[in-house]
Structure 1
Amino acid sequence: MSELEQNLIFNKWLAQHKALLFKVVRSYARTSMDQDDLFQEIIIQVWHSIPSFRQESSNTTWIYRIALNTAIKWVNKERKHTHTNQPLEHLQPILFESVSQIDERLTWLYEEIYKLDEIDKSLSLLLLDGFSYKEMATILGISESNVGVKINRIKKQLITKSKQQDYHGI
């Protein structure tokens, strides 16, 4: 593959999937500086992966998998380099580009998703983006039945917590 072909594919994919990448970035990185760093890391990984893309899955599935794997590795790397004892949930959330668009329940939901472990967080994001159980299983490397079990547990957990917040379910 020539560099020109790779560049064309990269620009097309980036234009098509920028919102998806930002959603992953916002779910794994809290500060704008960290979000910029993670976004850059993800697009570098997408660029390097283009020649190895075999079209066995959709490019959306491929990119999502790269983004999630890169984000998880980035979080683990950042934890090793962070010397603060302050829990992340106490940092101000940066979920949307415009503060005026924030819906309290949606903010709460993303805060709760942020607190989940990496697999559950990834499943939640994939579910919100409308991926099928089969696609989720492929992206995360787990069985479809495991996807279903985990999603049901996550839903029950979030519904219980939302009732405690007087949101009467999500």
Structure 2
Amino acid sequence: MSNDFYTSSILPYAAMIIKICRAYTNTQEDFEDYYQEVCLQIWKSRNNFRGQSEWSTWVYRLSLNVSMTLLKKQKNNRQHLDSGYLPSEVSDEPRAFTEDALEQLYSAIRQLSEVDRGVILLYLEEKSYQEIAEIIGTNPNNIGVRVKRIKERLKKLLDGKIN
């Protein structure tokens, strides 16, 4: 990957990519793997960008798709191993970030479905319902209802009312 491409086409969107990768990982190591894979896939797929949307929308969609794919691969790999030897949640490994309140929010977000994680991340980035619908691949009317339900679930998770 050329330094020019990274500087001009990935670096301006690094914060967005970091947020997405962070929402789909529990450890610093996984976070770094996801971030690297997203950047690699952006570079490998750059010629597939047709300009039918904004570059940022395309990067968002690709970042979400890569993160969801990696998460599914991890889940599949865990199912093939003897689950008796695996902890249900990795807790001894260091977290990617240390701020308590922010970590609690990301912990709650990680408990959402894969698609809901993407929706709430886009909402937190102040994307319009139309933009979120384009990135997720659904209709804008569904996004408003979905955001409301996700907020209610996050509130319950953060208040400790559900696990």
TM exceeding 0.5: yes
| 1:90-116 C-alpha deviation (Å, 9 max, x unpaired) | 4657353xx3xx1x3332221110110
**Structure 2: where are the runs of 5+ without partners?**
none
CA positional deviation for 1:151: 0.6
Deviations 1:57-114 (CA, angstroms, capped at 9, x unpaired): 1111110100000000000011111235422374657353xx3xx1x33322211101
1:38 alignment counterpart: 34
Match of 1:136 among 123, 127, 132: 132
Pick from 17, 21, 26 the counterpart of residue 25 of structure 1.
21
Paired residue for 2:88? 87
Quote the RMSD (CA, aligned, Å): 2.2
Q: Is the 8 A contact 2:22 2:106 kept in 1?
A: no
Structure 1 residues not aligned, in runs of 5+: 166-170
Aligned residue identity for 1:105: A
Quote the residue 2:10 is aligned against.
14
Aligned to 2:43: 47
Match in the other structure for 2:147: 151
Q: Secondary structure at the match of 1:142?
A: coil
User: Is the 8 Å Cα contact of residues 95 and 110 (structure 1) preserved in structure 2?
Assistant: no
| Other-structure match for 1:67 | 63
Detail structure 1 runs of 4+ shifted over 6 Å in the superposition. Answer: none
Partner letter of residue 64 of structure 2? L
Partner of 1:168: none
Contact 1:25–1:39 under 8 Å retained in 2: yes
Distance 2:92 2:120 in 1: 21
CA shift in 2, pair 1:65/1:160, >3 Å: same
Give the TM-score normalised by structure 1.
Answer: 0.81
Is the contact between residue 10 and residue 50 of structure 1 (CA under 8 Å) also seen in structure 2?
no
Tell me the CA shift for residue 12 of structure 1: 0.6
Aligned residues: 156
Q: Which moved more, 1:123-132 or 1:32-41?
A: 32-41
Residue identity opposite 1:68 in structure 2: L
Q: Equivalent pairs: percent with the same residue? A: 31
TM-score w.r.t. length of structure 2 = 0.84
* 1:111 counterpart residue number: 107
Aligned 8 A contact 1:136 1:147 in 2: yes
